Amino acid sequence: MRLVTWNCNGRLRDKVSAIKQLDADVYIIQECEDPERVSKQSTGYNNFCSNCAWTGEDKNKGLGVFSQYKLRKRQNELDDSFGQRTLKWFLPLDIDDGLSIVGVWAHRAGGGEFRYIGQFYKYLKNNLPELTHSIIIGDFNSNAIWDHKRSGGGHSTCVRILKDVGIESVYHRLRNEQHGKEVISTFFLQRNPDKPYHIDYVFSPLELIDRTLELRIETFDRWKHLSDHVPLL
């Protein structure tokens, strides 16, 4: 099975043909529009969305998972509450071949410590026992280089929490690199090749990484006309 995660930078309906060339079984796409509210004239997008799950507030930019396999939402089994608010954005799903994933777009919702990776930190605190057999995949808007900006619940804290239950970043495990010292980038600020960052991740149980998983990160030159992020496969 091939999984792809990609922040499409909006207007996925105009980029479907490009992402479909990666021939994935499951696509986890950030900043994509709500399939239920896209013009019915967008035939290619409507076909792409024939089996999908989506969450978000802005109809033009949310988190979607698209697959040829049956998807079962686990939303009611996991806790995305945050006081009177909701953590943004997470899609816990079972794929019909037995794989469990959590699609992620760590959002700026909340303030201070609870922006971006702070959303994921709270999600882990709410749900860690239920996540130990899941692949957690998406745009986390985070890197260890920004740990100093947080008093707690930052990137390295989340990495440690996951490692303690046998879940690690596929990229870092396979390449034996440290968080914050990545050689390959996944995001280019303002589509500038001189402003690279590594902020998209696939976290997986170790038994899957060591037994079966491979990872490829697409090149910026191929995708820069479509997005400031590149796909991870």
- Which CATH number belongs to the domain containing residue 108 in this structure? 3.60.10.10
CA atoms within 13 A on the CB side of 102: 30
Asked if residue 233 is part of any domain, the answer here is: no
Integer distance in angstroms from the first to the last C-alpha of the chain?
10
Using alpha carbons, select from 108, 46, 98 the residue that is nearest to residue 71.
98
Q: 136, exposed or middle or buried, with CB in 10 Å at 0-12, 13-18, 19+?
A: buried
Total tally of structural domains belonging to the chain: 1
Asked if residue 77 is part of any domain, the answer here is: yes
Task: Report d(CA 203, CA 215) in Å as an integer.
Answer: 11
> Which whole number is the average pLDDT over 18-25?
97
Note down the domain range covering 100.
3-223
Residue range 168-183, pLDDT digits in tens: 999 999 999 999 999 9
- Whether the pTM exceeds 0.85: the reply is yes
Q: Indicate if the pLDDT at residue 40 is higher than 70.
A: no
Asked if residue 33 is part of any domain, the answer here is: yes
Asked if residue 229 is part of any domain, the answer here is: no
Using alpha carbons, select from 53, 54, 116, 66 the residue that is nearest to residue 87.
116
Residue 3's SS3 state is: strand
Residue range 88-131, pLDDT digits in tens: 999 999 998 789 999 999 998 877 788 999 999 999 999 999 99
Q: Which two tokens stand for residue 74?
A: 């686990």
Residue 143: pLDDT band with limits 50, 70, 90: very high
